[in-house]
Amino acid sequence: GEDVEQSLFLSVREGDSSVINCTYTDSSSTYLYWYKQEPGAGLQLLTYIFSNMDMKQDQRLTVLLNKKDKHLSLRIADTQTGDSAIYFCAATIQGGKLIFGQGTELSVKP
Amino acid sequence: DTEVTQTPKHLVMGMTNKKSLKCEQHMGHRAMYWYKQKAKKPPELMFVYSYEKLSINESVPSRFSPECPNSSLLNLHLHALQPEDSALYLCASSRDRSNYGYTFGSGTRLTVV
């Protein structure tokens, strides 16, 4: 069945870049999303990329998509302590579903 | 308006109570969703509504009953819940079932006692 995978933890120092990786299995996924979730909060949409794009940049965020390898990454430049959260990658599949990865817990050390 | 609004933000209910969760969006989206999320886990899809009609029920127990009164509103009626149903309940919407513009609300944190 459809699956999305992410590494569970990432630890970086403040000011460094963070790269969170994600792989997915459904080659027909049209939209790929990145969400941020802080403790006790809902899901905040960070950015998304359409499947016919290979890169999208939005301020400190850069999304790279390798459709051939079904690999998606989120780069956060100049990572701050406020970026500490769980980051979910999600891929759309037919029928209105989003399939989520397990989430990557980003820890930013001062 | 680019938000999905959920009420209440927190809810504590007994196992014999009946309560409802509400979700509202004014983005003109025609697909709306209910998800359930346990702590530090990804959200799990419960129901999909497309053009006010239920299109997907992910084998959710009947103690959860969704309702879509109109294109802007989505309710989740709760009855005879169990403590293991305690979770964050998230509503989402998208333009349609193409999944463009998938936006989540901030959720209702439900505790069943």
DSSP letters, B73-101, are: EEEEEEES--GGG-EEEEEEEESSTT-TT
Would you call A45 an interface residue with chain B, using a CB distance cutoff of 8 Å? Answer: yes
Contact A98 B99 (CB under 8 A): yes
Q: Do B102 and A101 touch (CB under 8 A)?
A: no
Tell me the three state secondary structure of residue B20: strand
Backbone dihedral angles phi then psi of residue B85, each to the nearest 5 degrees: -80, -5
pLDDT digits (tens, 9 = 90+) for A9-67: 999 999 999 999 999 998 888 889 999 999 888 899 999 999 888 999 999 999 999 99
Q: What is the pLDDT of residues A62-96, one digit of tens each?
A: 999 999 999 999 999 999 999 999 999 999 887 66
CA geometry: angle B87, A44, A40, nearest 5 deg? 35
Per-residue pLDDT tens digits of chain B, which is 113 residues long: 679 999 999 999 999 999 999 999 999 999 999 999 999 899 999 999 999 999 999 999 999 999 999 999 999 999 999 999 999 999 999 998 777 788 999 999 999 99
Task: Write out chain B residues lying below 8 Å of A42, CB-based.
Answer: 6, 88, 90, 104-107
